[in-house]
Amino acid sequence: MNRADTDSTPLYDPALGLAGLPSAPRWESAGQRSLYRSDWVSLDLIAVRPPTAPPYEHHVVRTANAVAVVLEHPDRGVLMLHRHRFITETTGLELPAGGIDPGEDPVAAAVRETAEETGWAAVRPRLFLTRCVSNGNSDQLFHFVHAEVGEWLGGPESPDEGPAVWVRHEHLRDVLGRDLVSCAPSSLGLLHAMTFGLLRDGAAAGSVQAREQG
């Protein structure tokens, strides 16, 4: 029986937003216990009551929120780092990014991380996106900041993060489509900035051109 054509699943209506939809069933939490605690990663078990299923204990990973930076030069494009990641044994291009210190503002963290990892000042920084990294098992938020490249500050602090490279606006689709960006946050930040016109003309032009080819 194919019911796709007689389907009663509602359609999203932009005029109503989420309020126009059947409501999301609420999962209640009732206390937690700590399994492991450190300055970098903590692990808790939260007692949770799903709306209809029996209560149970759910693991939650707690790490500092993080921020990634789309640092733009009008002609040279977006600054990325060529990085090796030992945890996943992957090598690829990433946006400058890092953890937000306790009490630190995400935009201030973006400027700090950019200076530390690339040696460049990030000017006119603006938070443009926040997403939950993995909301089924982690409380971490990932913020995304757009900034323009400013002065050379004399960094980076360490060569271990990997060398910086400019990716021209018209090549952003290339690095994303060829899987040269292995980490989800860097892919997401670039795609969102490209889709919502946060980058200069080159990005939009490259995107239209490539879609017309496809």
- β-strand pairing of 56-63 with 66-73: unpaired
Full DSSP string of 127-172: EEEEEES-TTTB--EEEEEEEEEEEE-S--S-GGG--EEEE-GGGH
Helix (H) or strand (E) holding 111: helix 106-118
Judged by CB under 8 A, the residue of 61, 105, 108, 202 near a second copy is: 61
Distance (Å, rounded) from C-alpha 206 to C-alpha 177? 13
Cβ atoms of 214 and 208 closer than 8 Å: no
Judged by CB under 8 A, the residue of 16, 102, 124, 178 near a second copy is: 178
CB of 1 to a second copy, least distance (A): 6
Residue at 65: amino acid letter:
N
Judged by CB under 8 A, the residue of 41, 55, 126, 209 near a second copy is: 41
* Residue 149 in contact with a second copy, rule: CB under 8 A: yes
Q: Which is nearer to a second copy, 103 or 136 (CB)?
A: 136
Residues 66-95 that bind a second copy (CB under 8 A): 66, 73, 76-77, 79-80, 82-88, 90-93
CB of 6 to a second copy, least distance (A): 9
Judged by CB under 8 A, the residue of 55, 126, 152, 209 near a second copy is: 152
CA nearest to 146, candidates 195, 85, 78: 78
Judged by CB under 8 A, the residue of 114, 125, 142, 145 near a second copy is: 142
Q: Which is nearer to a second copy, 114 or 187 (CB)?
A: 187
In sign, the C-alpha dihedral spanning 145, 151, 156, 162 is positive
Residues 10-29 that bind a second copy (CB under 8 A): 10-12, 14, 17-18, 21-29
Distance (Å, rounded) from C-alpha 187 to C-alpha 145? 14
Residues 181-210 that bind a second copy (CB under 8 A): 181-185, 187-188, 191-192, 194-197, 204, 207-208
* Residue 214 in contact with a second copy, rule: CB under 8 A: yes
Judged by CB under 8 A, the residue of 40, 102, 103, 124 near a second copy is: 40
Distance (Å, rounded) from C-alpha 129 to C-alpha 145? 7
